[in-house]
Structure 1
Amino acid sequence: MPKRGYHHGNLREALINGCLRLIEKRGPTGFTLSEAAREAGVTPAAVYRHFEGREDLIAAAAHEGYEMFGDLMEHAYGNGQPSALSAFESTGRAYLAFARKYPGHYVAMFESGISINRTPELNAVATRAMGVLEKAAAELSQHIPAEKRPPPQMFSAHIWAMSHGVVELFARGSPGTQSPFPPEDLLETGIGIYLRGLGLLEPDS
């Protein structure tokens, strides 16, 4: 009988899926390569047909995540948004939605310690994905007077930091970090305060 999780010709994907389940349960350093093989339903020796070690496997999960993340961000940015502001806000919501829907991928991408420079392929998909947020920031920043305009990279980094903080503290149900407000509301109001500080939104009356 075939082992659980493995189908002929799909060993690599079975191992990545096993890795993602273990990341969700134990974090990126809480399992061995042998345990990932067992989770996928294959022998430990089978893992080395595709991966040299656990970090290679997590990097493959991160690569898959960045590809999905890039697609989601591009859809959010370009899906008929009526203004640069709405496109920018949409990318922030897409970030939060991705973290909630794909927690294993999110951790592999942003919390595993795997550098996006590990391989040229990983760098390419990560740069494309995060470039959408930077592009949205650059477009929105054109509405700020040039002498007050932050670099787009700084602009997008601030929003990334804010989004990541909301994910870490409130969007994944961590014990002791319950908020009386939905994560989406926290992110939206936080971005609103930031944009008002840049003069991109009218002050509250």
Structure 2
Amino acid sequence: MDGTKTYHHGDLRGALLEAIRVLVERDGPDRFRIAEACRIAGVSTAAPYKHFADRGEMLRGVALAGMTRLRDAMANATAAHPPGDPMQIAALGRSYVDFAQREPGVFRLMFSLTEGHEKDAALQAVGDEAEAIVQRVVADATGLDPESQDARLRAYALWCFVHGHCFLTLDGKTDPLPRPAEDALLAMVGTRMLGG
């Protein structure tokens, strides 16, 4: 089903995805219970199967919504600065780190538990759009063609750094940095990666 039908309490599909998101944050993506999501959403235990084929499809829906929020946060962060402004890179990194810290369960779901995600055209499309934001910011800062190999490599290097930093922090492999120090780190890495 396309999930566009609305119910007396609003969008049932959206309510279920939000309930699952809450449980993913609390219990992790591999331990949430569908019955509890139904209770939170105020629907019967049969209701999810009018919108989702199985548990995996439910998790992909939560991952897609998360990827969309992350992409939008990245776009909004960069739009707050003029093209080519070095602050775009720092803001981009900050938006990514903030998302990971705000929604660690969804962040892990998006990037760790990805069975079937590679076959989901919608997830791939949103991921490509997020990647294009990074490439555009790199191109604006360096004067490179956003589709050039150099711009792609620099964008990838920035993503690897920020993504790795998020997981090292979330996994407790390093102590969280105070925000000013983390902001300085993001600015330093962005400047150095774009500088030469």
TM-score computed with the length of structure 1 as normaliser = 0.75
Structure 2: distance between partners of 1:54 and 1:48: 9
Matching residue within 176, 181, 186 for 1:185: 181
Matched to 2:164, the amino acid is G
RMSD, aligned α-carbons = 2.9
Structure 2: distance between partners of 1:12 and 1:115: 20
CA offsets 1:56-109 (integer angstroms, 9 cap, x no match): 111111221222222221121122337342212211111112222333432332
Structure 1: distance between partners of 2:139 and 2:83: 16
Q: Who is 1:96 aligned against?
A: 97
Instruction: Give 1:42 deviation, angstroms.
Output: 2.4
Matching residue within 197, 200, 204 for 2:195: 200
CA offsets 1:148-199 (integer angstroms, 9 cap, x no match): x9622221222212212222232x4x557434x3266246426625743x57
Please tell me whether residue 44 in structure 1 is matched to residue 45 in structure 2: yes
8 Å contact 1:117–1:123 — kept in the other structure?
yes
Q: Who is 1:167 aligned against?
A: 166
Stretches of structure 1 that go unaligned for 5 or more consecutive residues are: 1-5, 144-148
Q: Who is 2:151 aligned against?
A: 152
Stretches of structure 2 that go unaligned for 5 or more consecutive residues are: 1-6
Structure 1's consecutive aligned runs of 4 or more residues displaced over 4 angstroms after TM superposition are: 174-177
Q: Who is 2:62 aligned against?
A: 61
Answer 1 or 2: which has greater helix percent: 2
Please tell me whether residue 72 in structure 1 is matched to residue 69 in structure 2: no
8 Å contact 2:63–2:106 — kept in the other structure?
yes
Count of residue pairs the alignment pairs up? 187
Instruction: Give 1:51 deviation, angstroms.
Output: 0.6
Structure 1: distance between partners of 2:77 and 2:83: 12
Identity of aligned residues (%): 28
Choose 184-193 or 59-68, whichever is displaced more. Answer: 184-193
8 Å contact 1:69–1:98 — kept in the other structure?
yes
Q: Who is 1:81 aligned against?
A: 82
Structure 1 residues 164, 117: CA separation in 2 closer, same or farther (over 3 Å shift)? same
Matched to 1:71, the amino acid is D
Structure 1 residues 53, 188: CA separation in 2 closer, same or farther (over 3 Å shift)? farther
Instruction: Give 1:115 deviation, angstroms.
Output: 5.1
Structure 1 residues 192, 159: CA separation in 2 closer, same or farther (over 3 Å shift)? same
Q: Who is 2:3 aligned against?
A: none
Q: Select the structure of larger CA radius of gyration.
A: 1
Structure 2: distance between partners of 1:17 and 1:191: 34
Q: Who is 1:139 aligned against?
A: 140
Choose 182-191 or 149-158, whichever is displaced more. Answer: 182-191
